[in-house]
A = this chain, B = another copy of it.
């Protein structure tokens, strides 16, 4: 009986691995360092090597696995091809095929973009449980997105489905984004973006603010804490950022109209306070919606990737 599945979340620093029951129970998880030397050619063999050891310790063979799913930090083409993955040093890699070979050829492997895969995890056993059309948004150093419609990941014809962090929302942004654009959601509403907005607000006025006490130590978390505590300038900065985020979510809602938005990433630690603020701006930009997609917090944290990767092979 194939009662198990494996989820692998390949990051630029570590590879997170999880062994799951097919009902979504996490049995065990471990990490493998990401060896990026030589165009990342050891990454998958390192992972396969460790996986085999963990399986042996439990007397599991490939037959016990429904499959191995993987999330990759970059665009994955519909046929599973990864033409470039900057964070891993990969060029022209077929990760699923390679992993199948490394595991001996008799186990199914699937691959997806990490943000899309994390969305699948949140839908399986996280904040999106009970829904089958969700948009997961990760507010971290950047802004990632994963879109699932009718239970299926929308990876896009060129692997760029769900790249909502790079939607243009802000005309007066003077700096370029990593993507080459200007005024992306990511520039406005990532942790970095919120911090930058706070710095701009502080520089624009002499008004007092608790944020000034932190000097160079000021962080997105502290901006959120100050806003929560009623600091006027912190709130002004956060509201500006979340207006752009709300606009971004509204844009997405006019395209795929999901049942729910699931908000994760470091910024989401600000909790319900943040969600309620996002809703204000989301409503502002969705006047034609009589019923709106809900906005909720993600619940799987950094494990969303391994959950979703494991879920990939259960489709």
Query: What residues make up the interface of A, taking CB atoms closer than 8 Å to B?
Result: 83, 133, 145, 147, 149-150, 152, 154-164, 166-168, 171, 179-181, 247, 250-259, 285, 287-293
Apart from A161-B255, A181-B285, what 7 extra A-B contacts exist at CB < 8 Å? A147-B255, A150-B152, A157-B293, A160-B288, A163-B254, A164-B255, A167-B250
**What distance in Å separates the Cβ of A87 from its nearest Cβ neighbour in chain B?**
15
Tally of this chain's copies:
2
With a cutoff of 8 Å between Cβ atoms, the chain B residues found around residue A293 in the complex are 157-158
**What distance in Å separates the Cβ of A92 from its nearest Cβ neighbour in chain B?**
13
* Closest Cβ neighbor of A292 among chain B residues: B158
**What distance in Å separates the Cβ of A182 from its nearest Cβ neighbour in chain B?**
9
**What distance in Å separates the Cβ of A294 from its nearest Cβ neighbour in chain B?**
10
Give CA–CA (A256, B287) in the complex, Å: 22
Give CA–CA (A253, B302) in the complex, Å: 27
Q: B251 contacts A160, CB within 8 Å? A: no
With a cutoff of 8 Å between Cβ atoms, the chain B residues found around residue A164 in the complex are 254-255
16 pairs, A vs B, C-beta closer than 8 Å: A154-B255, A156-B258, A158-B257, A158-B293, A160-B289, A163-B254, A163-B257, A164-B255, A166-B288, A167-B254, A179-B287, A179-B288, A180-B287, A180-B288, A181-B288, A251-B255
With a cutoff of 8 Å between Cβ atoms, the chain B residues found around residue A167 in the complex are 250-251, 254-255
Of the candidates B181, B255, B292, the one whose C-beta lies within 8 Å of that of A256 is B255
Give CA–CA (A253, B162) in the complex, Å: 9
With a cutoff of 8 Å between Cβ atoms, the chain B residues found around residue A256 in the complex are 147, 154, 156, 161, 255-256
**What distance in Å separates the Cβ of A85 from its nearest Cβ neighbour in chain B?**
13
Q: A166 contacts B255, CB within 8 Å? A: no
Q: B154 contacts A149, CB within 8 Å? A: yes
With a cutoff of 8 Å between Cβ atoms, the chain B residues found around residue A289 in the complex are 158, 160
* Closest Cβ neighbor of A288 among chain B residues: B179
